[in-house]
Amino acid sequence: MENVHVLNHPLISHKIAQLRDVATKPAQFRLIISEIARLEAYEALRDQPTHTINVETPLEVTPQEVLDEANICFVPILRAGLSMSDGVSSLLPNAPIGHIGMYRENGTHIAHEYYSRFPDRVTEMSVLLLDPMLATGGSAIDAVRNLRNRGVKDIRFLCIIAAPEGVKRFHEEFPDVPLYIAALDRQLNENDYILPGLGDAGDRVFGTLL
């Protein structure tokens, strides 16, 4: 599918193996998600426009292409998306960060928004929407719809693990939104969890497993 990018890379595969491992503790789990998010942002920002500045090296002044960090906004979907923020922010520490809160209703698995906060200029920015899991696609679709309703045009969605069902639904809803996936898994189970997956990313990030 056009605009769906599965980042097949040995380093990412290596780190996802650690994420999937039930023995991986929350601190290490957070670190690995942050590392994978950093690698995904590298790809997602590949076509980002730059402008020229003059840089003084120890030997001479030279023109150099740079990004405008003020025109890039990272938006994690709460709460699990927070785990990806540090990784992407380490690349562009002055880029603003927005937030959007979504939760899935028990039983129906329908996504609901409970919080949102964005920079005033978000409509003029390139937004990288962050969530470790793309299962049914409900939360991601609702988050993109929220941003579109606010007038945001340039949106890229970054996730770590995705199910084919969620990718198909997301792409059908927003074929113009680039989707960056670290690992495309097999399927959803009867409870809409991704298989083989890694369990509930939010619970594993924050150590709230029941």
Backbone angles phi, psi at 198, to 5 degrees: -150, 20
In whole angstroms, give the CA distance from residue 81 to residue 159.
Answer: 9
Give the closest residue to 48 by CA, choosing from 152, 104, 125, 113: 125
DSSP 84: H
Q: Which residues are catalytic?
A: 104, 108, 200, 203
Distance of CA 204 to the CA centre of its chain: 17
In whole angstroms, give the CA distance from residue 131 to residue 118.
Answer: 16
* Contact (Cβ atoms closer than 8 angstroms) between residue 99 and residue 115: yes
